[in-house]
Each structure stands twice: as C-alpha cells, then as structure tokens.
Amino acid sequence: MSELRAAYPYLLEHRNEFWQALAIHLELSGAALIIALLISLPLGLWAAKRRQAAEPIINSANALRVIPSLAILFLAEPYLGLGFRPSLVALTILACPPLIINTYAGFRAVDRAVVEAAYGMGMAARQVLRGVEFPLALPVLLAGVRIATVEVIASAALAAFIAGGGLGDFIQRGFSVGRPSIMLVGTIPIALLALVADLVLATAQRMVTPEGQ
Amino acid sequence: MSDAPALIADHVSKQFPGGQRPAVDDCSFTVNAGELIILLGTSGCGKTTLLKMVNRLYEPTGGRILFHGTDITQLPATALRRQIGYVIQQTGLFPHMRIADNIAVVPRLLGWQPSRTDARIDELLTLVGLPIDYRQRYPRQLSGGEQQRVGIARALAADPAVMLMDEPFGAIDAITRTRLQGELLQLQEKLHKTILFVTHDVEEALRLADRIIVMRDGKILQFDTPLRVLTEPVDDFVAQLIGADDLLRQLSLLKVGTLTTAPVSPTDVGDGSPQVRANDDVRHALALLLGTGAQRVLVIDDAGHVTGQLGFGDVQRALHHDLAVGS
C-alpha cells in the first residue's frame, strides 16, 4: 500500500515523461496491431480459401506462438539494432499468430450453404466476400484482435529492454533502482490499458454478432 | 422472352477431376416454359450436379445448356444467376441479415428502387404465407418450415422465369413437408414458373411433377410424366425405385391433372356431381366416386371453373392404356 502511495507523487513529478511514455506505448501497440492486421488478414483468408496453403500458414503461426515475446525482442536486436523500430517488428510478429489463426477459423466457419446460396443468387465474388463471408467471420476475427491487442499492450512493456520506450521504461527503472513504486507507475497504466481495450473489443464483438445467433 | 423452350440440355456432361466416371454423363432434355420438372434419383446419381450446371455453379465439361434459346456461357454467370431463382436444402439464408434483407438480395443486385423492393418484400411474404412483421426478424428466429418459405420468397424476389430447387424440403419434418409441397403446387398454379426440382423422395416427385427425369450413374434413364413413369418404367431399376407394383399407393400420389380428363360442356355441370381440384390426388377422386355413387367427378381450377370430368372408366383407361402400351 505504501508503494502505491509513493507511486502517485512520482507520477506527478514525472508527468511529462509519463505522458510521453504513454504516447509511445500506444503508438507502438497501435502500429504493431495495424501492420499485423495488414499481414494476417490476407494470409488467414488465403489459408481459409486454399487447402494447400492452410497447413503451412497455420503451422507457422502456431510455431511463432511458442517463441516467448522477450526472445523475439532480443532476436530482433542484432539485425535491427535498438529503439522503436525493432520493438515494432517484434510486437508485430507477436500479434500475427492469433490474428492469422482466428481469421482462418472465422472464414472456415462460414456455412458453405450460405456462400453457395450467395453465388447462386448472382453475387460477384467480391460481393460475397464483403457482404456475406466477412460479416459472418467478423465475430471470430474480432476475438483474435482482442487476444492480439491485450498481448501487444502487455508485451510492449518489454520494448524498454531494447530502448524502444513506452511505459516499460518505468518498470525497468524501478527494477534497476530497487523501487517498486516506480514500477507501479508503468505497471498499473499498462494493465488498465489492456483491460479497457479488451472491454471495448468485447463490446464490438457482441455488436457484430447477429441477433438470434 | 423468345418462344424457345425455357431450358435445353444438349449432351451435357460433367467430369470432376479425379472422378472415376462422369458425375453427369451425356444428358439431353428439353423443358418447356411453365413446367415443373423433377430430377429424381438416389444420392450420387448426378441430379444436383446437373442442376448446378444450369446456373453455372458448375461448368459442364461437355455439351451445352440453352436458357430461353441462349447458350448460358454467352451470359456473365452473375447476370444469368440473377434471372434464375435458387432454393437449396439448408435454405442458405444469410444469418446476419433480417428476413426483409434476405428477400431483397437479388432486387438490390439488380438495382431496383428501394420503394419497389420494399413493396415486393411485403408481397412475397404474403404470397408464401408469412406475416409481414417477420420482415424484422432474423432467420434463426424462424422454424425450419418458415425459413424455407423465406428461401422460396427470396428466390422469387425478382420474378425469375426459371427456378432451381435442390431438395428444398429435404430437411423439414414430414408434416410440414407435405404442407409446403401443397403450397408449392398452389404457387405454381398462380405463377407458372419453369421449375427444376431435385429430390430423392419418390412420393414428392410423383406429387409435384409435371414430368420426371429419373437419373442413375450420371445418365438419364427416363423422362416422362409421373403416370407414364409409374405405368411404363423403362427398366427394373426405375420400376423398383418408383415402386411401380403398388398401384393403390401411386393413385394417392398422382394428381388428377396428370390424367387425361374428358372434356365437358359448360351446360353439363349442374347435376351436383362432386368436384375435385386438378391438384387433388386420384385416390381422393376415386374415394368421392365410390363414396357418393356418382358417375363422375368434375375437375375445377382455382377460380372454380370446370375444366374436365373424370369417371371410373377414365382412370381405368388411363392406367390400362399405358400399361398395355408398355408391355
């Protein structure tokens, strides 16, 4: 409790630094998620459409999942150096597996009869994808976005270890000087961010799930 | 539309890659406008494959199909499909769309005015016997029978001349199925669509068909009226499939309208003879004859006009004549 009480004055004292770290944290997480989405959506969709593509893609995604996020960060360092960029790369790699797997699962779960009916009624392939397959896959897809978002926001704390910045800076600093109160200045906002993101996406997921389903 | 037959299949074949034999093997037939044709056969006989080549969900590997005289490969597939109603067994309704939006799919693809589409939705719901306030519901909130009524309404939305129906009542309980079959016949009396209807259910085939295409191993074995398929099966397989030895059961499946009824003059209808509708089964007509002691029943259409008459002799002649020709 005393650590918590000590954290607040420290936060006030380092207000500017905190806002900056928060901004970097959000930027890092947001950019990683967007890039990961741009990579994962087509890959997941391709895997869902082509049986030959499915196995290598899904297996690779699962394999990536096994590598700890810290290892990805440190593996990126020799090639990309220190700072924001390697952190972004590492977090993007981290975000891809749940996005790929859920995109695949979401599109595969769309009832084949519904898709056939859509084509049979004279929809073009793009109209079927946009008007039928995508909205029906969306709840599962969003579940993947939820997992990836929470993972990325939490793991972005590790970026501080390769000088990527973000709220992890406070954790690292607190750890190195042995003051848990400073660590809390990083930890609590990260946890809150992850919680809020999860809540928002859970609501979105509920909203795109059709009634009566 | 031209005067050409609604559909012509001209030596159509389909060989799937890796298939041991063609799924559809050199099939030819002609369907006239307004006919309800049943494609009948056991599973794997190629009937669904043949159906799906008509709206180009599958492309034939041989032969060609003419749609009102035009080779269907001359039309863009999407344009062709928007002119052909399509109903499938699993209904294929879009679960994320309300009933109104499901029905509106093809009109919207065709770029109809919203007000026209809107009016059409109400019209169709009424036509298939569903309350207008179902517009706002989602498919899963409806029973299986209601969902398939929506499926039929959706297929009829842009008033296509041709409808393809792939075992539409196959997943529906027996009582509802019988009711839907009756409703389809009533719809057909009003709308005169050209319908290709796939089923493996012999009773359904006999009850609904103007003509039946019996298929086996990708080939058409027989293409005939229900009466003739019953009385003159081309081979033992067809005879067995159709159950040609049980005449009484078949009389309960044949429509009065499929027998050639004797003409009747308008002045000769006032004697209180019992009346049957063309869609009633022959057994019903016979039961009336036996029950009332009348010499004939009058066949009437929907508007109540007498279109013909039927006596014991006519039934007997219809069956015997054909039996005699067949043996």
Q: Rounded to an integer, what is the distance from CA B274 to the centroid of its chain?
A: 28
Could you give the CA distance from residue B164 to residue B31 in angstroms, rounded to a whole number? 12
The distance of A61 to chain B (nearest Cα, Å) reads 29
How many CB atoms within 10 Å of residue B21?
Answer: 11
Domains and CATH numbers, chain A: 2-208 (1.10.3720.10)
3-state secondary structure of B238: helix
Give me the mean pLDDT over the B297-302 stretch: 84
Give the pLDDT of residue B79.
94
Give residue-wise pLDDT tens across range B180-211.
Answer: 999 999 999 889 999 999 999 998 998 899 99
- State how far the alpha carbon of B177 is from the alpha carbons of B140, B196, B197, B202, B303, in Å: 19, 18, 14, 13, 26
Instruction: Please give, rounded to a whole number of angstroms, the shortest distance from the CA of B262 to a CA of chain A.
Output: 42
Shortest alpha-carbon distance between residue A136 and chain B (Å): 7
Interface test with A, best of B82, B96, B159 (most A CBs within 10 A): B96
For the whole model, what pTM was predicted?
0.82
Task: Express each pLDDT in A45-76 by its tens digit.
Answer: 999 998 888 889 988 988 888 888 778 877 87
A15-49 helix and A134-155 helix, angle to the nearest 10 degrees = 140
- What's the whole-number mean pLDDT along residues B229-243? 88
The dihedral through the CA atoms of A104, A110, A111, A117 has a sign that is negative
User: Greatest CA span in chain B, whole angstroms?
Assistant: 66
Can you give the pLDDT at residue B275?
87
**How does pLDDT run across A100-121, given as a tens digit for each residue?**
999 999 999 999 999 999 999 9
The answer to whether B94 contacts A114, with C-beta atoms less than 8 Å apart, is: yes
Distance of CA B135 to the CA centre of its chain: 27
Does A121 contact B at CB distance below 8 Å? yes
pLDDT of residue B105: 95
For the question of an ipTM over 0.90, the answer is no
Contact A122 B154 (CB under 8 A): no
**Cβ atoms of residues B264 and B289 within 8 Å:** no
The minimal CB distance from A121 to the residues B81, B95, B139 is found for B81
How confident is the model at residue A1, as a pLDDT? 67
Quick check: B69 pLDDT over 60? yes
A52 touches chain B (CB under 8 A): no
C-beta atoms of A210 and B79 within 8 A: no
For B256-275, write each residue's pLDDT tens digit: 877 766 777 777 777 778 88
Percent of the residues in chain A that have a pLDDT greater than 70, as a whole number = 98
pLDDT in tens, A156-213: 988 888 878 888 888 988 888 888 888 998 999 999 999 999 999 999 998 888 765 5
Give the pLDDT of residue B327: 36
pLDDT (tens digit per residue) in B105-114: 999 999 999 9
For the stretch A120-134, pLDDT in tens is: 999 999 999 999 999
CA of B58: which chain A residue's CA is closest? A120
Q: What's the pLDDT at B262?
A: 72
Distance from CA of B52 to the nearest CA of A (A): 9
pLDDT at B326 over 50: no
